[in-house]
Amino acid sequence: MPTRIDIIFDIVYFLAMGRPPLNMTATVVRFPDETLERIDNLVGNKQRAKFIREAVVNEIENREKVAAQQNSE
């Protein structure tokens, strides 16, 4: 289920006629074809970028939690 932020992001992106919203920077990331196929099979081609953004944010949060736990020991 999309969050409120996701819905707002999608609306802003649509209204900006394809221009990226502020505070976002485009970057090139290369993936094996098989990985992209797996992502597309899960979320569909049009949701690929959103899925990758969410996955990266989740991984950063997980690693930050682990680092904070290690620093507190």
Give the pLDDT of residue 25.
80
Of 9, 8, 7, the residue nearest 20 (C-alpha): 9
What is the largest distance, in Å, between two alpha-carbon atoms of the chain?
A: 49
Instruction: Look up the domain containing 22 and give its range.
Output: 4-72
What band does 12 get if pLDDT is binned at 50, 70 and 90? low
Question: How many distinct structural domains can be found in the chain?
Answer: 1
51, 43 Cβ separation under 8 angstroms: yes
2: CB partners within 8 A, 6+ apart: 10
pLDDT band at 14 (very low <50, low <70, confident <90, very high): low
Question: Which stretch of 12-21, 32-41, 47-56 has the lowest confidence by average pLDDT?
Answer: 12-21
| Average pLDDT estimate for 5-22 | 66
Q: What is the pTM of this model?
A: 0.65
